[in-house]
Amino acid sequence: MKKNELLLVIFLFLFITQTNGFYEFLGSVVSFVLELTRIQQLLIPLYRPKNRAQEEKFDFVIIGSGPSGSALANRLTENPNINVLLLESGEEASFIADIPVAAGALEFMSYNYGYKSQPQPGFCKGCPNGVLEWPHGHVLGGSSVINYMIYVRGSPGDYNKWADLGNPGWSYKDILPYFIKMEDTRVKISDDEIRGKGGYLTVSDVPFRSKIVDVFVKACNEAGYEYVDYNGRRQLGVSYIQSTTRDGKRCSAEKAYLRPVRSRKNLKIQVKSTVTKILIDDKTKTAYGVEYYYKNKKHTVYAKKEVICSAGTLNSPQVLMLSGIGPRDHLEELDIPVVMDLPVGKKMYDHPTFPLMLFEIKKPLVIDGIQVVLNPFNYLGLLTGKGAFTTIGGVEAITYIKTNQSTESDPLYPDIELLMIGGSLNTDFGIVFRKIFNIPSQIFDKAFLPKLGSDIYMITPVLVHPKSYGWIKLKSKNPWEAPLFYPNFFSDPENDDIKTFIAAIREIERINATPAMKKIGAELVNVPLPGCERNTFDSDEYWECALRTIIGSYYHQVATCKMGPSNDTEAVVDHKLRVHGIKKLRVVDTSVIPIAPSAHNVAPAYVIGEKAADLIKQCYNI
């Protein structure tokens, strides 16, 4: 049997078995691979807890190894006299997570907590069970191991707003040095004077590009959008995507910040350790340690200086509330003793995205999913860091626009992000993409299956500054039960979020009407979404129906432990990330971001970790 034939048989087997245990099969394969690829652990063993009879003490205990926690652990242990314990509930990732094209599939593996939102009226009417998939990293390196590796700093205006809200030290001028410090920029077109070189985090162009992306960039230019380094002097404009990849492979927080310093004797990393409670002296309101479970046994560890919660926007509020820090009425409802009454989880912003702007083209330029799988040279590319498998889930270009709905005075402050994907929901026959975007099989079969085999690319508009916001609650005081997540999309009373989305759709259509797109015969796929047939296709009423029927999330939740001054009734931490009213306890992750930024969370997450390290060093003169 020829190589291509063998690959075809394997692909067809996976496709045929997709509805009958495909992910279970894939999970078994991945589990086997995991056991064969523990070289890192063999070379540098992870920390193991001592016998419970022996008292364990560290200067700092960090809960969570996402970008913020990893950067913080690295920087604090630069001082050999400071010892740090980094606790992570997940395991170590295998090399499978390094393959950029596998980004979507990683959401269906053990590296993801597998959270889902709660059903609510007004959105996701066509989603399975009316809920959103909300991936959250459950692995060493956190969500940086399962995300799409899109690197976006955000607009300078984002950080200036943070400072204006009563958070000195967080303006763009204050934050820029940290971006420069942490980056190792390998981008062909960049504003070099404000981009970093030689830092821990590699930011690269994606080696593989489909031909359609070049046409899209040209079309944006024709529509009036200048080519920019969107992580440079200005964000408004179009660019090829910049990614957290190094030599064609994922550069996660573990790879960037932990792997280079694993040999430090003063840094202890413990995986498979779930923190269930922060220990706080109720009389002095001082944090002094944590309780966590490792191999089904409870352990206690003490912090001589501070406990730092870096569990992420979805889990940091859970840990705080389980420890008695949160809204009094909610904690008392669950019979959790109240240590400090704070608005933990009361506000949560996210970036909703609409995945149904699909364009069919007459000239075949789009990535052909079957050819990618069948071409053996793409597998060789895994070793060389080249080829189609280096694409970050198909995302190839990004455009920041300011629609006619924006009320911002800053002419360069965007309200919409356009992500161009060199493929569509049809590319993988509905195996992964449709599940990521919460599209049930019945809608996929009716609306998209007829276009199977067509050359289609998609543009997903992302609402970067939603007015609607949701919240997080505990389901119970059982730490093993996932919290309850309420996104509350499209709930703003003036319907501004819907209006901005529709304005973005009109701008996408204008871009697609440029000469560059006409030359390849690009046309909007005119297949009415089931449930919206009563509305005239492409009318504002149709798009509102479609938006409320199928909406996705790019998992950029923020503000659940909002940063702000003590007189801010929504604030949980101050500008030095210290929990209001509690000594020796900080929150260091994207949960502290006060408003939804024009960023993908991984970039500000690293900056928060870097900034926090300096704040702590200054506090203790270390």
Query: Taking a C-beta distance cutoff of 8 angstroms, is the pair 615, 174 a contact?
Result: no
Q: Has 600 been annotated as catalytic?
A: yes
213: nearest Cα among 437, 517, 510, 503: 517
d(CA 255, CA 260) in angstroms, rounded, equals 7
275 is in an annotated binding site: yes
3-state secondary structure of 47: coil
Exposed, middle or buried by CB within 10 Å (0-12, 13-18, 19+), for 118? middle
Copy the structure tokens of residue 538: 């492409």
Q: Has 330 been annotated as catalytic?
A: no
- 496-512 and 540-549 are packed helices; what angle lies between their axes, rounded to 10 degrees? 110
d(CA 100, CA 390) in angstroms, rounded, equals 5
d(CA 243, CA 250) in angstroms, rounded, equals 9
Query: Taking a C-beta distance cutoff of 8 angstroms, is the pair 534, 549 a contact?
Result: no
Work out the widest C-alpha separation in the chain, in whole angstroms: 74
9 is in an annotated binding site: no
432 is in an annotated binding site: no
Tell me the Cα Rg of the chain.
24
Q: Report how far apart, in Å, the C-alpha atoms of 620 and of each of 12, 240, 289, 348, 363 are.
A: 60, 43, 18, 32, 63
- Which of 136, 330, 556, 580 is catalytic? The answer is 556
Which residues are registered as beta bridge partners of 302? Answer: 57, 289
459: nearest Cα among 501, 514, 508, 500: 508
Query: Taking a C-beta distance cutoff of 8 angstroms, is the pair 479, 277 a contact?
Result: yes
Which residues are registered as beta bridge partners of 63? Answer: 87, 309
Strand-pair category, 325-326 with 340-341: parallel
Q: Which amino acid is at 401?
A: I
Question: Residue 620, Cβ neighbours under 10 Å: how many?
Answer: 13
Q: Which residues of 262-274 are buried (b: 16+ CB within 10 A; e: fewer)?
A: eebebbbbbbbbb
- Residues known to be catalytic: 556, 600
Sequence ranges of the binding site for substrate:
554
Sequence ranges of the binding site:
139, 275, 554
Sequence ranges of the binding site for FAD:
139, 275
